[in-house]
């Protein structure tokens, strides 16, 4: 039998722990999921295919077909979310895979079939009839009375359920197109839910709970809660009734979520089935069962779909005769989504409150997403009795201060910039950003020259996500327009990504940011996806490096895993060179960045190097600029200049785009402006690294001068959830050349006036003022005197302008004094 399994997955929270249900090392487990759901998947998946929605049958089938082509037909198709059960059943039929078919699912997914099956077995259910039109509803009400409920035949979480109180409401009701609906009497009874496992011979573990309010009321803006029952007499009646229901619907083992109407008296309770699902309950039920009762209902459902034995705890857990009681609470968003949280203060207190909660933070954007997991706030409770848990739930409802304000896109936009960068290198970007939106700055230091571009500034530890969340939230809380966040600072990328994730703002995901920052993770992920492989090894110490280099072949490149600016990156031509140069990488440091464990050793990629700036939105990668790098100071990869020039006509252009697109997919980058570095080798383009932020060294400015696309403005648009304008009005050349001193020394004077007057010079930016101490590579980091930027119709025109301008720059650099050993100080 094939060891390939396909799982349809949609949750972003950890409802299912697939990694503990099946050994991903011995089975090939592949997943079809959404971008939002992908981060919740376990490591070790054979493959992950992303679709916009798991309800898109065409996209899911295409994804599964690709997985079948790669790994062979699956032994099983698994889906644990109620909405995905139908798709999984259809796939099993189409692929000839064992498991539940659509016909077997009908009593659980089709409420008409469900009601008729139960009624035929003598199980009490409300009157249920098809409602194809107004006349059918009117006829039903004539028999059963008003009010009535009209609901989709196949639906979940009370979506689309409407209460009609009489003829006037019926006349105004518009039947949903292409969605079959049914009609039932509205019953004002208490609603219970019973969750558990049917073993095929009886009940395994099960629990009964009482709703606080109803699912329908939740869709109308009322908090929804639930408390597990502890009345032994009532539980005995519920247990017997539940056994009848589960036997009437299936002889097999299955996990159930049963909803019941409770009426009658305490002495003679009466039960009717509202509906039943063949899956674990939603809301907080799976978490509550794991945390309070030690039973994983998702694990049981997974086992059922694999036709594997039920977990022992699920099979023998029995009824709720003893132990703690659990409860949960969902608070809906108190404003139309999308909205921004203006208050989310829990005044609950630890003694009378939940044992865990998922509460939004001030400034968080709450998007319009379906499902209970995306409720405004979520709480879970535990206690010795139902009364204790109920009191805690009710106290939380009363004490939780939750307010939101709708977002008005017509109001001014605000973008929070995390980190600044030096004035010389980033002021042009501040100008572009301030022209696109109001700009607030969050930095670890005060604001000075930046003030002219800002509407606000906060000084916090910008490397700490918690501090960033508070700072960005405070900036956003009083705004009614759109708010975004981004950074061009490599040091702050991961913290900014995490803060944006917590605030619900568009940004590269934290996982993708980590994948870009860690060069070893980049190499491993590219290899797993089969993206233009580069020989590499993870090494600790010179001896491991020598062994790895012998296997890869010289020359080799040694680099720190997570530094920036090519710091510590060195090429070794042979074993002696590797011994001599290894310490440059191992001892390298970059302010604010952890070098991570070990070094990365890679095969040397021969050929010219280019950088590719791309705009990525909803997973679509659109390369905008290709810039040729000018490298110097071999073997230390110092970037001494960059040329932006037309590139789409080049013979390598198509393959370059394919490589960069595949790299984004492999690293999980679906949003943002990125900066890739690529070598154009004889074997084709090979990725050096992918950076999850705007390029440095004036590269975005070169792109704007060369083709008219402002990447800073594009980054702000993406941060605001808007579509960037990537129209290229022209296609010419722009180049920057960095000027270096002839030797290590201290700058005494720098005069660029004559050079700036050369026709074709767009600007000259001084980079080292008087008193600046410059050390050439490898002793110093980017020891530059000035940047000269030129434009022209061809690369040759740019070079001529730069050559002429460079000769006119006047720099006085005093050599460093001699050290006691006779060498220059600093060497």
pTM, to two decimals: 0.87
Instruction: Please answer whether residues 672 and 594 qualify as being in contact, where contact means their C-beta atoms are separated by less than 8 angstroms.
Output: no
Nearest-5° Cα angle at 153, 210 to 144: 75
- Please, which residues bridge with residue 572 across strands? 556
Question: Which pLDDT band holds residue 686 (cuts at 50, 70, 90)?
Answer: very high
pLDDT digits (tens, 9 = 90+) for 12-45: 999 999 999 999 989 999 999 998 898 889 988 8
Question: Tokens 């019953």 belong to which residue?
Answer: 187
Give the pLDDT confidence score for residue 68 in this predicted structure: 96
Phi then psi dihedrals of residue 484, to 5 deg: -135, 170
pLDDT digits (tens, 9 = 90+) for 332-361: 999 999 999 999 876 555 567 899 999 999
pLDDT digits (tens, 9 = 90+) for 628-666: 999 888 877 789 999 999 999 999 999 999 999 999 999
Instruction: Please answer whether residues 91 and 78 qualify as being in contact, where contact means their C-beta atoms are separated by less than 8 angstroms.
Output: no
Q: Token pair for residue 335?
A: 């404003």
Question: Which ranges in 212-264 belong to alpha helices (H)?
Answer: 215-219, 232-249
Pair type for strands 76-79 and 129-130: unpaired
Instruction: With a cut of 60, say whether residue 65 has pLDDT above it.
Output: yes
Helix (H, G, I), strand (E, B) or coil at 256: strand
Q: Which residues contact 130 (CB under 8 A, 6 or more apart)?
A: 112, 136, 153, 180, 181, 182, 183
Give the pLDDT confidence score for residue 329 in this predicted structure: 97
Question: Which pLDDT band holds residue 827 (cuts at 50, 70, 90)?
Answer: very low
Structural domains in the chain plus CATH codes? 4-99 (3.40.50.20), 127-185 (3.30.1490.20), 190-336+371-399 (3.30.470.20), 414-507 (3.40.50.20), 535-603 (3.30.1490.20), 606-731 (3.30.470.20), 735-815 (3.90.1170.50)
Give the pLDDT confidence score for residue 820 in this predicted structure: 52
What average pLDDT does the chain have?
A: 93
CA distance 249 to 407: 46
What average pLDDT does range 559-572 have in this prediction?
A: 85
Give the pLDDT confidence score for residue 346 in this predicted structure: 63
Distance of CA 667 to the CA centre of its chain: 12
Q: How far is CA 210 from CA 158, 198, 261, 328, 356, in A?
A: 17, 20, 10, 11, 20
Instruction: With a cut of 50, say whether residue 819 has pLDDT above it.
Output: yes
Question: Which pLDDT band holds residue 604 (cuts at 50, 70, 90)?
Answer: very high
Q: Residue 17's CB: how many other CB atoms inside 10 A?
A: 15
Question: Which ranges in 159-206 belong to alpha helices (H)?
Answer: 167-172
What average pLDDT does range 425-452 have in this prediction?
A: 95
What average pLDDT does range 604-612 have in this prediction?
A: 95
CA distance 522 to 772: 36
Give the pLDDT confidence score for residue 618 in this predicted structure: 87
């Amino acid at each position: 039998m094939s060891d390939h399994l396909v799982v349809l997955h949609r949750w972003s929270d950890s409802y299912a722990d697939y990694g503990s249900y099946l050994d991903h090392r011995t089975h090939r487990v592949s997943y079809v999921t959404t971008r939002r759901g992908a981060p919740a998947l376990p490591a070790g998946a054979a493959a992950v295919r992303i679709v916009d929605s798991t309800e898109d049958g065409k996209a899911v089938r295409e994804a599964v077909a690709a997985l079948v082509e790669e790994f062979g037909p699956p032994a099983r198709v698994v889906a644990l979310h109620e909405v995905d059960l139908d798709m999984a059943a259809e796939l099993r039929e189409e692929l000839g895979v064992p498991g539940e078919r659509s016909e077997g699912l009908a009593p659980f997914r089709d409420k008409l079939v469900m009601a008729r099956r139960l009624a035929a077995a003598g199980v009490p259910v409300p009157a249920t009839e098809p409602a194809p039109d107004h006349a059918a509803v009117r006829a039903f009400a004539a028999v059963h009375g008003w009010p009535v409920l009209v609901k989709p035949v196949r639906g979940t979480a009370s979506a689309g359920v409407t209460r009609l109180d009489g003829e006037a409401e019926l006349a105004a009701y518009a039947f949903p197109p292409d969605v079959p609906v049914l009609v039932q009497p509205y019953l004002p009874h208490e609603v219970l839910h019973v969750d558990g496992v049917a073993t095929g011979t009886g009940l395994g573990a099960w629990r009964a709970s009482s709703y606080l309010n109803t699912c329908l009321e939740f869709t109308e803006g009322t908090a929804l809660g639930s408390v597990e029952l502890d009345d032994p007499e009532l539980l005995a009646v519920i247990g017997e009734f539940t056994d009848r229901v589960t036997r009437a619907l299936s002889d097999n083992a299955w996990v159930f979520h049963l909803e019941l109407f409770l009426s009658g008296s305490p002495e003679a309770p009466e039960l009717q089935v509202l509906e039943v699902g063949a899956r674990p309950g939603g809301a907080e039920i799976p978490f509550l069962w794991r945390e309070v009762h030690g039973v994983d209902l998702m694990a049981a459902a997974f086992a059922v779909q694999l036709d594997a034995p039920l977990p022992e705890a699920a099979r023998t857990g029995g009824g709720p005769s003893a132990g703690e009681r659990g409860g949960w609470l969902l608070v809906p968003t108190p404003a139309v989504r999308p909205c921004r949280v203006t208050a989310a203060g829990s005044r609950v207190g630890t003694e009378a409150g939940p044992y865990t909660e998922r509460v939004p933070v001030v400034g968080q954007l709450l998007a319009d997403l379906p499902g209970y997991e995306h409720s405004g706030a979520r709480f879970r409770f535990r206690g010795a009795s139902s009364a204790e848990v109920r009191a805690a739930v009710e106290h939380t409802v009363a004490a939780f201060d939750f307010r939101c304000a709708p977002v008005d896109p017509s109001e001014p936009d605000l973008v929070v910039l995390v980190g600044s960068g030096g004035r010389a290198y980033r002021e042009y970007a501040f100008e572009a950003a301030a022209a696109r939106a109001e700009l607030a700055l969050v930095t670890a230091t005060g604001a000075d020259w930046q003030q002219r571009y800002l509407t606000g500034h906060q000084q916090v530890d910008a490397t700490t996500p918690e501090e960033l969340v508070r700072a960005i939230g405070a900036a956003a809380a009083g705004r009614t327009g759109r708010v975004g966040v981004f950074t061009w600072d490599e040091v702050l990328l991961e913290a900014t990504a995490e803060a944006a994730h917590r605030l619900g703002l568009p940004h590269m995901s934290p996982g993708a940011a980590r994948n870009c920052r860690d060069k070893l993770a980049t190499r491993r992920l590219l290899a797993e996806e089969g993206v233009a492989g580069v020989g590499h090894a993870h090494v600790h110490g010179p001896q491991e490096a020598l062994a790895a280099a012998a296997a890869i072949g010289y020359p080799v490149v040694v680099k720190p895993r997570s530094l920036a600016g090519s710091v510590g990156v060195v090429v070794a031509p042979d074993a002696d060179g590797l011994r001599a140069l290894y310490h440059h990488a191992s001892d390298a440091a970059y302010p604010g960045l952890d070098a991570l464990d070990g070094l990365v050793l890679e095969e040397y990629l021969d050929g010219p190097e280019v950088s590719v700036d791309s705009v990525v939105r909803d997973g679509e990668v659109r390369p905008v600029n290709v810039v040729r790098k000018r490298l110097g100071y071999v073997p230390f990869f110092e970037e001494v200049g960059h040329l932006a020039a037309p590139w789409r006509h080049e013979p390598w252009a198509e393959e370059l785009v394919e490589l960069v697109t595949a790299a984004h997919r492999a690293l999980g980058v679906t949003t943002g402006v990125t900066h890739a570095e690529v070598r154009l080798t004889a074997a084709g383009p090979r990725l050096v690294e992918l950076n999850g932020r705007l390029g440095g060294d004036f590269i975005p400015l070169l792109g704007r001068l060369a083709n008219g696309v402002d990447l800073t403005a594009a980054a702000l648009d993406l941060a605001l959830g808007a579509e960037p304008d990537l129209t290229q009005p022209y296609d010419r050349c722009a180049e920057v050349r960095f000027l270096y001193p002839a030797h290590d020394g201290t700058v005494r004077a720098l005069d660029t006036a004559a050079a700036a007057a050369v026709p074709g010079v767009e600007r000259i930016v001084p980079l080292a003022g008087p008193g600046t101490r410059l050390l050439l590579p490898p002793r110093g980091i980017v020891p530059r005197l000035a940047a000269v930027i030129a434009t022209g119709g061809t690369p040759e025109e740019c070079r001529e302008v730069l050559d002429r301008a460079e000769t006119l720059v006047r720099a006085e650099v005093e050599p460093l004094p001699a050290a006691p050993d006779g060498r220059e100080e600093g060497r």
